[in-house]
Structure 1
Amino acid sequence: MQGKNSTISQRAPRRRRTPGQPAALAGPGENAHGWCRRCHLHPSDFHGLRQLAATALEGGLDLAQELHESIAGAFLRIQPVGALTAFLYQKARSSSRILDRCLTRLLPPHSSRPAGWESTAEREAVLAAINGLIGDHLAESGNPMQIPMRLRVGGKPLPATPEALAAALKPASGKLLVLIHGLCRSDLQWRRNHHDHGEALARDLGYTAVYLHYNSGLHISSNGKQLAGQLEALYLAWPVPVEEISIVGHSMGGLLARSACHYAGLAGHEWLAHLRNMVFLGTPHHGASLERGGNWLTAVLGRNRYTAPFARLGRIRSAGITDLRYGNLRDEDWVGLDRFEHGDDRREPVPLPRGVRCYAVAGSVGKSDGDLRERLLGDGLIPLDTALGKHVHGRHSLSIPKSRQWVAYGVHHLDLLSSLAVYQRIRSWLAPAGMRSRRSARRP
């Protein structure tokens, strides 16, 4: 108790800075503008939230009016009542737009970020979740809360030139590891329970790990094309000769990696020839049951005049989420189609890239092989067979060899990021052949 109390007593008292106080007298973590250097909110976030609030209010009024009219149309067939209702809703919309314009004038400018400002992990996590849920809407409406695709290390974007890259990576090795997060996640969330697969592989196998940060609410194919281009630019700017590239993708991240390989092949990108390994962690290669269930529910609600207004809520979900219904990887899987329509799998098979060793890890909430929970629930989100690339129709099966498949029992979907057993399996797969043979020789 004494040590604890002494630690608390040694803390410097928190100082309040009065307006006009010079930067030299600013408190720890503050700058001359009075902003905390690490803040949960950026000025642009207020504008983004304002836009979302205005959209939500408009959508709520549309939903209420549609529901009102569907009920009134069945029981109150009086024209004046309908006209009055439409007039009142129109006035409510006008009032909401006036309020939005007033808030716009009151908020600080988008670009009023003070020097030295840094985002927090909590802010990054919230933005990632919002982007995963409605990221396509954020992009279409120009909302400042949308996440631009960037390759980052430590939450900071990688510079574009070889000299700056060499200084930022300190030093870069010829073994490049790219880690791609899943839906509603961020690159900072590879660290879970004090473990990060990327950091551990860099330490144990000599990789230089970089992390993709992207808007997971966009179509997977749109992100795949963009990732293919960014990896080509990174490969060309890498400060040392690239010996090999390996990719680890969690959940949607594995689909994004496959889409990037597809588009890199079409574009003739050089980085694809150096890709040696891809590891899929809980990747829904053939879709997620949860999205298929949501699609079915939306379709059922839309068939009844009284519940049809509530089908609007189901149509809020992002393009990235609807791509997870069957695991769409190409533009052709969704262009020209109603992505909310209830229908069968229309994908054309996308094979794994040639010459690349592909590995699949599936989580299972069951405790052993044959456990009923294993077959019914998989890792709690992704069914076991789809995570292993298996499909009832042979043309869709990825045909990953048995020796490159592995089931982590008692491991939930997110725990694939922190499980020691999962990491050891990844490390054994990616280790050079000589290192693997030495480890095998040391086993009793």
Structure 2
Amino acid sequence: MSPTQPRRTRLGALLRFGWRATSRVRRPITRVVAPVAGPIVAQIAALAPVRVPLAIATAPLGRTTTPVERPLVALRLGGEDVTPTDFAVLAPAPTDRLLVLVPDVGHDERQWRAGSETTGATYAERLQHLLGWTPVPTRLDPGSPTEAGLELASVLQRLVEAWPVPVQRIAVIAAGNGGLAVRAACAVRFATMPSWTGRVSEVVGLGVPRYGVEPARLASDLGRRLDQQLAGIVVAEPSFLGLQQATWADHLLVTERPPLRPGPLGSLLGGVVWWRHRRGGRPRHVVDLFPDAESFELAPGEPLTNRHDVHDALLRWLA
């Protein structure tokens, strides 16, 4: 036997024979176990540390590349991101009333068109033509609501300073988790005058979570979705939960009627969801993110971005 050939042992031959002999028994078991074990193994592999070769991890000549990340928040005009100065110059027919539209996380101004085929116009179009509001569409990328709020506050402050006419009133309409960024933005205080936060008269939230709770150690992504979609609870960092809402503005929250409600009269499933927020037998502190807000519940069905009853309510609130 050549010294370069692998050495064959009796134990190895016995194991190979046993593996071939049990192939017929293993096949049906594999068909049942594989669909269940596959996703679990994939998650474990994703969490495992990965060693990346140096030649792949670095750019040519050994220099690392730093991707340029776009901001979490940006003003939108003509389907593109624009600076506050450019928006102030290019905005058609600017007025002293700014209607800031903040979409849900991961969306832009296109979200506000959903359902407009039944109403004939979007919220911004009707408020612009009937009440003289100037729409200010924005884009919101995924990220921390506190960081998004800081960026939104900075963008709106620069917009107010560059606006061609003195801004007398600002109304904000936010969808989904975009309302969390608006809450953080309104908590920012500016030394420069005029501050945009002092001009905010109404904050209208469409499907914005009402309650917040600190993250739990063993919380899963499924558990977080259950909290937000069924019980109206969003998991957020303590720094965000400690922010105060803009008390000088009217907060109006429009939501679909939630399947579960907090409190002693909640359903059994609702009690199970709220039971998750306990540490060592004691309930975790659940914060009302908008304690002074007026809540309006609608029957589930049509998208909140364009509904006849919400159209009528906006015309009353922003008159």
TM-score, with structure 1 as normaliser: 0.46
CA-CA distance at 1:424 after TM superposition: 1.9
* Structure-1 residue corresponding to 2:164: 239
* 1:422 counterpart (305, 310, 318): 310
CA-CA distance at 1:146 after TM superposition: 4.7
Amino acid at match of 1:173: T
Identity over the aligned pairs, expressed in percent? 22
Q: Does 1:400 align with 2:292?
A: yes
Matches within 5 A, 1:89-108: 93-94=52-53, 98=56
* 2:211 counterpart (268, 282, 286): 286
Matches within 5 A, 1:50-129: 63=45, 66=48, 93-94=52-53, 98=56
CA-CA distance at 1:270 after TM superposition: 1.1
* Structure-2 residue corresponding to 1:297: 220
* Structure-1 residue corresponding to 2:32: none
Distance 2:152 2:310 in 1: 26
* Structure-1 residue corresponding to 2:180: 255
1:94–1:292 distance in 2 versus 1, CA, 3 Å: same
Distance 1:65 1:376 in 2: 31
Distance 2:220 2:255 in 1: 27
Distance 1:150 1:263 in 2: 17
* 2:299 counterpart (391, 394, 409): 409
Q: Does 1:358 align with 2:251?
A: yes
Deviations 1:48-101 (A, max 9, x none): xxxxxxxxxxxx7982795xxxxxxxxxxxxxxxxxxx9xx86xx449x65x88
Decide which structure has greater strand share: 2
* 1:149 counterpart (64, 70, 73): 73
Give the unaligned 5+ runs of structure 1.
1-59, 67-85, 106-140, 301-313, 315-323, 334-346, 367-371, 378-391, 432-444
* 2:151 counterpart (214, 226, 232): 226
SS of aligned partner of 1:170: coil
SS of aligned partner of 1:416: coil
* Structure-2 residue corresponding to 1:25: none
Amino acid at match of 2:291: S
Aligned length: 247
> RMSD between aligned alpha carbons?
4.4
Deviations 1:405-439 (A, max 9, x none): 21111236xx11122222222222112xxxxxxxx
* Structure-2 residue corresponding to 1:338: none
Question: Which structure: larger Rg?
Answer: 2
Decide which structure has greater helix share: 1
Amino acid at match of 1:203: H
1:255–1:426 distance in 2 versus 1, CA, 3 Å: same
Distance 2:207 2:299 in 1: 12
CA contact (8 A) 1:254 1:283 kept: yes
Give the unaligned 5+ runs of structure 2.
1-41, 225-231, 260-264, 271-283
* Structure-1 residue corresponding to 2:25: none
CA contact (8 A) 2:215 2:237 kept: no
Higher RCO, Cα 8 Å, sep 6+ = 2
